[in-house]
Amino acid sequence: MASHDFVKSGLRTVEMEALAVSQLAPFIDSDFETACKTILACEGRVVVTGMGKSGHIGNKIAATLASTGTPAFFVHPGEASHGDLGMITKNDVVIAISNSGNTAEVITILPLIKRLGIPLISMTGAPESVLAQSACANLNVSVTTEACPLNLAPTTSTTVTLVMGDALAIALLESRGFSAEDFAFSHPGGALGRKLLLRVSDIMHSDGEVPRVTAEQPLQDALLEMTEKGFGMTTIVDAENTLLGVFTDGDLRRVIDQKLDISSATMQQVMSANPKTISRDILAAEALTLMEASSITALIVEDEQHHPVGVLHMHDILRAGVV
């Protein structure tokens, strides 16, 4: 096999595709605006179709639209001609992708789309093509040459098409005011979804699991409570269950260093007042940030009346897969 400069070849491809993407800017034009407005007015779903490599890119564009607030799915144009066209309704919008604008399988279903009165948006590299001329808006994704040295394999053209799809999805996302929480609802199973959706109340320990002693109780009672509950800390409350302070393993070490009489000391003498607390309604990810900033491993969860209603340990956050 002849010697080949793989790095040079790879860099040439990257440079060609980067240049093609930068030349896409003039095509974010009035047709792009029309496409966005057409999709925003859609009462159904966006149906993306395309053949071959355009189909693979179309599948990704449909997935991106769906995860950013625009209901969408992909239909193979070949299958559409054999029954799958029934998946498309009069309330939908179709995005048809074809670099040449003359792909037979896509062109075949155009009359049916027109008969249903469905708005058609095209993504082609040939503005004068049949597909582009049939659309209410054509997103121009033309390139001067493919990265393939034979100028045959779809490379630069598919990259540019994917970027145009991303531009469309993000423009729609911003127009809808789509939030991080909205995004999380589309991704509940992943780490991102857990980070954006999981709240302290979902994973905290509550009720009888919360370690609790009064200010008048001896330190020995607190040690027993800490051992039983296993959080390395206990809350200190008054007769009305209002939070007064906290006592931790670290506080115990300080008591020992100060040579206080453990057998006679009360919690009033050894507790730390004004402990770090959180609300049950905040995100678990925010609680983790507070723990890390304060160099602590557990937080007391309190209600509006300053009653300790839960304890959240760092291990709970890790087990929940927030990080």
- Kindly state whether residues 172 and 204 are assigned to the same domain: no
- Kindly state whether residues 145 and 268 are assigned to the same domain: no
Which helix (H) or strand (E) segment holds residue 206: the answer is strand 205-206
CATH number at residue 30: 3.40.50.10490
- Kindly state whether residues 168 and 271 are assigned to the same domain: no
d(CA 284, CA 263): 38
pLDDT digits (tens, 9 = 90+) for 8-48: 999 999 999 999 999 999 999 999 999 999 999 999 999 99
Q: Note the pLDDT of residue 180.
A: 60
Running DSSP on this structure, what letter comes out for residue 264? T
- Kindly state whether residues 279 and 131 are assigned to the same domain: no
- Kindly state whether residues 49 and 168 are assigned to the same domain: yes
pLDDT band, very low/low/confident/very high, at 148 (cuts 50, 70, 90) = confident
Q: Packing angle between helix 30-40 and helix 156-176, nearest 10 degrees?
A: 50
pTM for the whole structure: 0.65
- Kindly state whether residues 214 and 117 are assigned to the same domain: no
Average pLDDT, the chain: 89
Q: Note the pLDDT of residue 196.
A: 64
Q: Note the pLDDT of residue 64.
A: 94
- Kindly state whether residues 48 and 173 are assigned to the same domain: yes
pLDDT band, very low/low/confident/very high, at 243 (cuts 50, 70, 90) = very high
- Kindly state whether residues 163 and 226 are assigned to the same domain: no
Handedness of CA 117, 119, 125, 127 (dihedral sign): positive
Residue at 185 is within a domain: no
CATH number at residue 255: 3.10.580.10
Residue at 156 is within a domain: yes
- Kindly state whether residues 166 and 257 are assigned to the same domain: no
- Kindly state whether residues 23 and 110 are assigned to the same domain: yes
Q: Note the pLDDT of residue 299.
A: 93
- Kindly state whether residues 169 and 40 are assigned to the same domain: yes
Residue at 21 is within a domain: yes
Q: Tell me the three state secondary structure of residue 101.
A: coil
Residue at 188 is within a domain: no
Residue at 208 is within a domain: yes
> Which of 202-234 are b and which e, b meaning 16 or more Cβ less than 10 Å from the residue's Cβ?
ebbbeeeebbbbbeebbbeebeebbeebebbbb
Q: Note the pLDDT of residue 191.
A: 57
Strands ordered across the beta sheet of 233-237: 212-214, 233-237, 243-248, 272-273
Domain end: 116, 148, 178, which one? Answer: 178
Q: Note the pLDDT of residue 182.
A: 58
Beta strand segments in 51-197, E: 72-74, 93-98, 120-124, 137-140
Residue 147, pLDDT above cutoff 60: yes
Domain holding 262, by residue range, is: 200-319
Quick one: what percent of the chain has pLDDT higher than 90?
64
- 184 contact partners, CB below 8 Å, separation of at least 6: 192, 193, 195, 196, 197
Count how many domains the chain has: 2
- Kindly state whether residues 161 and 15 are assigned to the same domain: yes
Pairing of strands 212-214, 205-206: unpaired
The Cβ of residue 54 has, within 10 Å, a number of other Cβ atoms equal to 26
pLDDT digits (tens, 9 = 90+) for 149-205: 888 788 999 999 999 999 999 999 998 887 666 565 555 555 555 666 788 999 999
Residue 317, pLDDT above cutoff 90: no
**For residues 188 and 218, which has the higher predicted lDDT (pLDDT)?**
218
Residue at 153 is within a domain: yes
Q: Pick the closest to residue 131 from 142, 147, 143, 145 (CA basis).
A: 142
Residue at 195 is within a domain: no
pLDDT digits (tens, 9 = 90+) for 66-113: 988 899 999 998 887 666 677 888 999 999 999 999 999 999 999 889
Residue at 206 is within a domain: yes
Domain end: 145, 178, 211, which one? Answer: 178
Residue 310, pLDDT above cutoff 70: yes
Q: Note the pLDDT of residue 285.
A: 84
